[in-house]
Amino acid sequence: MGRIKVQKGSVVAFPRFIFREYHLGHIRAEILAPALSECERLTPAGWAKFYPLSAQQLSDTNVTLAREGRHPISAATFLDMNSLHLVNDPLQIWVERYKVYVAMRQELKHRQIFYPVSLNQFLACASFGKVTYYKASLDRDPYNDILEAQLVLHLKRMAPSMGPNYSVGPGPFKTYFERQEEQAWEIISHFASLLSPAYYLPNS
């Protein structure tokens, strides 16, 4: 759901402090998604029930502010104040990187290059300059499975324009796929180069 929102240009709508807690090692990866989903449904009363220490901290802060004659802080503002600064926020970094990934996938589609590149492969290329050709990284049987799956998808894509009788053998398709793979990684590498580490450093 978060990915769909990012594709539409929206800000991901779950609290950044939960992602911060995951980033700091306080929440395990296997419960991150359920926790984020639950937070989207929590009312202020629910938040106070399930996160009593944070709620107590907010209450104590508001008592102090009241003594000073100042306005209380809302739960939403309190959560935002306790998240990392937006420039250093790992969730925001993920969002920006995912936007580049989406733009890269759109460019591949625009050029009629149908290549199965994952977000992890893209980020590995951005972080380490790692280009992952399937033939070089997979054993023969898994590689043949990839080719067979891509051949099925290729036939489905071509059927509307070429007709139901269109077919291509495994050998010619392997050559076609590997040529597309080379073209795809040129584009992937270009977009990965846009994720310069300097982009994420805070302003001094």
At 20-72, the pLDDT tens digits run: 666 667 766 666 655 665 555 566 677 677 777 778 888 888 998 999 898 99
pLDDT band at 184 (very low <50, low <70, confident <90, very high): very high
Alpha-carbon distance 76 to 39, whole Å? Answer: 12
Q: Evaluate if residue 125 carries a pLDDT over 60.
A: yes
DSSP 82: T
Q: Give the gyration radius of the chain's Cα atoms.
A: 23
Alpha-carbon distance 134 to 146, whole Å? Answer: 8
Average pLDDT of the residues in 16-23: 65
The number of angstroms, rounded, from the C-alpha of 133 to the middle of its chain's C-alpha atoms is 22
pLDDT, position 87: 40
Q: Evaluate if residue 201 carries a pLDDT over 70.
A: no
Question: Three-class SS of residue 155?
Answer: helix
Here the tokens at position 154 are 């290729």
pLDDT, position 200: 42
CB-based burial label for 26 (10 Å; 0-12, 13-18, 19+): exposed
pLDDT digits (tens, 9 = 90+) for 81-124: 655 444 445 566 677 788 888 999 999 999 999 999 988 888 88
HSE of 39, CA atoms in CB hemisphere, 13 A: 18
CB-based burial label for 80 (10 Å; 0-12, 13-18, 19+): middle
Taking each helix axis from N to C end, the angle separating 16-23 and 90-110, rounded to the nearest 10 degrees, works out to: 100
pLDDT, position 203: 42
Q: Which pTM does this prediction carry?
A: 0.54
